[in-house]
Structure 1
Amino acid sequence: MTSSSALPEQAGRTCHNVVNPFHSAHYFAPELSAEMAKLGIEKRSARYFATRGAAMGAVGPGAIAATFYNFRYELIAEHVPHVWTVTTPEEVLAARLRAVDGTLRRLLGDETVESSEMAEAAELALRATEGCSRRARPLYAAHADLPVPDAPHLAYWHASTLLREHRGDGHLMALLDAELDAVEALVTHTATGRGMTYQGVLATRGWSEEDLKAAQERLRTRGLLDAEGELTEAGVQLRKDLERTTDRLDRGPYEHLGAEGVARLTELATGFTTTAMGAGAFPASLFGK
C-alpha cells in the first residue's frame, strides 16, 4: 500500500543517494577480490565487468559497453568475453552474494546486519521496487529476474541494487538526450565536484589524458566548460537538467512507496551508509573534486 501524501520534490533522488552506497560498497571490498580470485578473475576491471554484468548472462563487450556507458570499449574487450571462459555468470553471482555478506558484516557489524531496522529497510526497499519498470532498462531488468535473498541484509542489498540500476538505466537515457558521450559525461560529472576525480577516471575507465582533454575541448566549444575546466553557467544548468530528467524517469518506485515510506527508508539508509562510509567503504582517492 502506498502513502496518499504527496512526494516532496527530489525525495526520490535523496533516497537514492543514501541507498546506492549500500549497493556499491562491495565493488571496493577485499571480500569481492578474494571471492573472484577463487574463480580465476584477478584483475580489477575484469572483476567489475563480470560482477555487475553477470545478471545479463555471458554477454559480450558490446552489451557491457551499452549498459555501463562510460567505460572505453577497448578496455571492456580486453576482459569480456574472456571472463566467461574462466567462470560462469552463475558462479559469479553466487560469489558476489558471499562477498556482499562478508562486506556488510565487516562494515556494519553483525548486530546491525541482524537488526529489526535492517529487516524494515529491506521490506521498504523491496516494496519500492514494485514500482520499477523493466522496459528499456536492461541492467535493472536482468537483476530483477534474480531471486530475492532470504537474509534481510542481503534482501535489502538486492533491493538497493534494483533501485540503483533502475535509476542508472534512466540516467543513460538522459545522457543520450543531452548529447553527452561517455567521456563528456565523466568530465562534466567530475566538474560538479560530486563525481570521480580525474585520477579515478584514468585509473578505472580506460580513457587516456588525451581523451579527457579532447572531451574538455568539445565541451568548451559547446559553452559548457570554461578555460579552467570548470562548468559554465550553461554547464551547471545542463547537469541540473540531467538530474531532473533522471528524477522524472525514476519516479515510479518512490511514488509507489509513498512519502512516508520514502522518508523512513531514507532515514534508515542514511544510518547504514554513514556507518559504512565511516568504516572506510570507499577509497578516498577515487572520489571528490
Structure 2
Amino acid sequence: MTHTARRMFELLEPICLVTFFADECNEELAALGHRTYWDGYFASRAAPLGRVPAEVVHAAFYSFTDGEVARHIPSVWETITPEASVAARERGSAASLRRILGGKVAASAGLVRAADLAAKAATSAPTEGRMMYAGMRSLPVPSDPVARLWHCATVLREHRCDGHVAALVGARVGGTEAHVLSALEQGIHPPESFGRVHHLPKQRLAAVMEGLRERGLVDAESRFTDAGRETRQRVEALTDELAAPPYDVLSPAELDELVAKLEPITAKLVAAGSR
C-alpha cells in the first residue's frame, strides 16, 4: 500500500495547494480581518484544534522555528473565531478549484465520484496519535462536491503530515533540519537559500548546518552525504507507509477508479500551478 499512498499524495496535493497558492482563500481570510497571509495560514490551519496555545500549534505543525507560531497564535483569536477561519478557508479553496477546473469539470460526475471515494478514505483511518488529522475529522464533511473534494484531500494531507512528523521525530530530524534535507533533495544549493528557511537568522541557520555536519548528514560543502541521503529516503519511505491506512477501506477497483477520476482533475491543477 505504500505505492498507493505515494500515488495518492501526488494526486491530492495539487488540490490542497490551492489553499496556499491561489488568491481566493487569502482574500476570504483577509476579509475576516486577518492582517497578513501568515495570520490566515496559522489561524485557518490550526482552527480545527480549537483555541489552543502557540506551544500546541508549534508542536503539531513541527516545521516552524521557535517563535514563528507565537507571532500569530493566540492573538488571531482576539477578533476572529476558529469556526470563522475554518469556513473562510473552505469557501476560498472551493472557489479556487471551481475557477481553475472550470464549470464543466467542477460539475462533472467524475468529480462527484472522486469526492465520494476520497471521503470514504478520509473518514476511515484511526485517529490515535494523529493530532491534525483528528482535528480535521471533527469537522463536518461538506455536502457540495467541490468543497467535499478539497476538504477530504486536506484531511488526508493532515493524516500524512502527522505521519511525516512521526517519521522525522523517529529519525531525530528537526523541523528546520527537514527543510534543509528537502532543499538538498531538490538540488537547491546552498540549502540555506531555500524559501522555507532563508528568512531565519543566520546564526540559527549556521547552528542547524553545523548540527547536520556533526551527525554526518551533510559534508563540509553543505551537500548530502550518503548517510544524509539515506536518512531522507528512510523518512519518506516511512511517511508513505504511515500514510497508507486510509486507503485500506477502498477495494482495488475503487482505488483504480479514484486514481482515474483524479488524474484529469490534478492535471488541470498542475498545469495552473494550483493558482
Q: TM-score range by the shorter chain?
A: over 0.9
Aligned equivalent of 1:45: 38
Aligned equivalent of 1:60: 53
Distance 1:237 1:258, change over 3 A: farther
2:256 to 247, 252, 263: 263
Provide structure 1 residue ranges, at least 5 long, that are not aligned to the other structure.
1-6, 283-289
Provide structure 2 residue ranges, at least 5 long, that are not aligned to the other structure.
none
Look up the SS of the partner of 1:109 in the other structure. Answer: helix
Rounded to whole Å, the distance in 1 between the matches of 2:250 and 2:123 is: 8
2:156 to 140, 147, 163: 163
Aligned equivalent of 2:133: 140
Measured after TM superposition, the shift of residue 211 of structure 1 is 2.3
Structure 1 length-normalised TM: 0.88
Structure 2 length-normalised TM: 0.92
Aligned residues: 273
Measured after TM superposition, the shift of residue 18 of structure 1 is 1.6
Instruction: Name the aligned partner's letter for residue 23 of structure 1.
Output: C
1:83-142 deviation line (CA, Å, top 9, x unaligned): 000200111111112101211112111111111110111111112124311111111001
1:276 to 266, 269, 275: 269
Measured after TM superposition, the shift of residue 159 of structure 1 is 1.0
Rounded to whole Å, the distance in 1 between the matches of 2:31 and 2:4 is: 41
Aligned equivalent of 2:197: 202
Aligned equivalent of 1:241: 234
1:70 to 56, 60, 63: 63
Q: Percent identity?
A: 35
Measured after TM superposition, the shift of residue 256 of structure 1 is 1.9
2:8 to 15, 35, 41: 15
1:132-163 deviation line (CA, Å, top 9, x unaligned): 11111111001101111111111111111111
Residue 98 (1) aligns with residue 69 (2):
no
Measured after TM superposition, the shift of residue 208 of structure 1 is 2.6
Instruction: Name the aligned partner's letter for residue 171 of structure 1.
Output: H
Rounded to whole Å, the distance in 2 between the matches of 1:115 and 1:164 is: 24
CA contact (8 A) 1:167 1:249 kept: yes
Aligned equivalent of 1:36: 29
CA contact (8 A) 2:111 2:145 kept: yes
Distance 1:194 1:12, change over 3 A: farther
1:219 to 209, 212, 219: 212
Give the ranges of 4+ consecutive aligned residues of structure 1 lying more than 3 Å apart after TM superposition. 194-199
CA contact (8 A) 1:202 1:208 kept: no
Look up the SS of the partner of 1:67 in the other structure. Answer: helix
Instruction: Name the aligned partner's letter for residue 114 of structure 1.
Output: A
CA contact (8 A) 2:180 2:192 kept: no
1:178-229 deviation line (CA, Å, top 9, x unaligned): 00112111111111118998341136xx633332232122112111112332
